[in-house]
Structure 1
Amino acid sequence: MKRKFPWIAIMCLIAIVSCKPVKEYQKMYLNDADMELSMRKGQKSENNFELYREGSAGANGGKSGGGCGCN
């Protein structure tokens, strides 16, 4: 128990010290498009339409065709 307490105290101090508010000029990096986890709804439909028109893959991962609209 005596050996665990210093480690727990050190970890708590590190956790408390590492939290700090984000400055206004730093927020632009947090709102970067590379930080997104998934596509937005508008991007999904646009990507779906582009894949369908291109013909490289069917819409939503369906069958692929020649691009002329033939099955």
Structure 2
Amino acid sequence: MSLTESTWKSTVPIIKACIGCVLLTATLASCVSVRGYEMVRLNDPDMALNPTGTEIQQADFQSYREAAAGANGGKTGGGCGCN
């Protein structure tokens, strides 16, 4: 058995312990109860994942207006609105 194999075998339990500690910390940190006065912020329309009608129209307008489109809607063209 070479020195590198011995070193590797002694390092594996330490790595597993570190990964376990990170996972345990992430699990415990993510468990939070929401208080009543904090629920108002969660129900705020600005916290919604889906864009509103105004935001969709604004993104469409931007993608047609900009000459180099692609990120918002994938609409390509010269910016003149003819495509």
Using structure 2 for the length normalisation, give the TM-score. Answer: 0.40
Structure label with greater radius of gyration: 2
